[in-house]
Amino acid sequence: MKILITGGAGFLGQRLARELLVRGEVKGVDGQPQTITELVLLDVVPASGFTDKRVRVETGDIAERSVLERLIDSETSVIFHLAAIVSGQAEADFDLGMRINLDASRVLLEACRARGHRPRVVFTSSVAVYGGDMPEVVQNDTALNPQSSYGTQKAIAELLLNDYTRRGFVDGRIMRLPTISVRPGKPNAAASSFASGIIREPLNGETSVCPVAGSTRVWLLSPRRAIASLIAGLELDAALFGMQRALNLPGISVSVDEMVDALREVAGDEVAKRVEWKMDPRIDKLVTSWPGAWDTTRAERLGLVGERSFADVIRSYIEDEHIQVR
Ligand SMILES: NC(=O)c1ccc[n+]([C@@H]2O[C@H](COP(=O)([O-])OP(=O)(O)OC[C@H]3O[C@@H](n4cnc5c(N)ncnc54)[C@H](O)[C@@H]3O)[C@@H](O)[C@H]2O)c1
């Protein structure tokens, strides 16, 4: 089986690639395990650190039709479409967000359609597709009403994936990801970057500034569970999706105050005191436009598993990243 990951050099793309290589196989459309023979990692920057012979690192812009036409052949039976311009950057640069998050998604679907082999396409959508007047707990079928350009681009791409699936051009699976926390490395341009920063930096002996109020609720998922969910979404029987290809992934709903309490529980008061508070209205506006809690019954019925507690999420970060708490 040949698998393509767009955004293969990104945070989730790299983790997904590593997990697929460890597993060595995924279920085919018939539910039977198939060996992964080739894993193509496409990104504008080269994915590094892969020496496995099954990996092919490709650099290119997904908005360029020729790039996708070259990389998606009739052997490419699975595509994880992760390449994106994240929320803060898509809000700051409207044209870039439209080009990569929306136009390139259509280019990808068209390249699949032109091949005519109906690959499974797993698309990473986001909480940001919801917004405006929302019920306290957002349901899987709550109307999409994004309040950011990023959310709008993701919502339109979701609709396209639904329709290209209905027409039989692809077998689309839309995974609506909560904010991923704890993300290792440096802060990024996502408005939700603080949701990792207020845990990661204090554990590393540094202060971190929280730009939203402590009462703000966020919907979070660990990188570990996010990757497991993307693969589970790929392996689900297509018939189980029915007429709705999107799944709100199970995660955990916590207030920012509760996140800091969990940090205190896991790493102690000295570490938790390294979180400082300074409201940033630009970030606050985006983050509070997203739902803080969503109903995940549908995904859970299909066997996807969420988090038990945010303290456990912090513990899995410390374990996975070999963090020495300072
Ligand atoms: N991390 C989160 O909290 C989160 C939450 C919800 C949804 N998502 C979605 O999950 C996916 C992966 O997120 P991530 O956290 O790994 O982000 P990331 O920014 O680390 O990865 C995205 C990758 O896409 C690549 N890319 C951008 N433009 C490209 C182009 N023109 N051609 C090819 N590659 C290009 C980037 O270089 C980057 O490596 C994205 O679709 C994102 O919208 C992430």
Residue 153's pLDDT band (boundaries 50, 70, 90)?
very high
Atom of ligand 1 nearest to the CA of 180: 3
pTM to 2 decimals?
A: 0.94
Percent of the chain exceeding pLDDT 90 equals 88
Q: What is the pLDDT of residue 53?
A: 97
Residue 209's pLDDT band (boundaries 50, 70, 90)?
very high
For CATH 3.90.25.10, the residue range(s) in the chain are 191-218+252-292+308-320
Going by alpha carbons, the residue nearest to atom 41 of ligand 1 is 82
Pick the CATH number of 2-180+220-248 from 3.40.50.300, 3.40.50.620, 3.30.1330.10, 3.40.50.720: 3.40.50.720
Indicate whether 277 pLDDT > 90: yes
For CATH 3.40.50.720, the residue range(s) in the chain are 2-180+220-248
Indicate whether 325 pLDDT > 90: no
Atom of ligand 1 nearest to the CA of 62: 32
Going by alpha carbons, the residue nearest to atom 11 of ligand 1 is 82
Question: pLDDT averaged over the chain?
Answer: 95
Spacing, Cα 20 to ligand 1 middle (Å): 18
Does residue 185 come out as left (phi exceeding 0), alpha (psi in the -120 to 50 range) or beta?
Answer: left
Is 317 a known active-site residue?
no
Is the four-CA dihedral 35, 116, 177, 47 of positive or negative sign?
positive
Report the CATH number of the 191-218+252-292+308-320 domain. Answer: 3.90.25.10
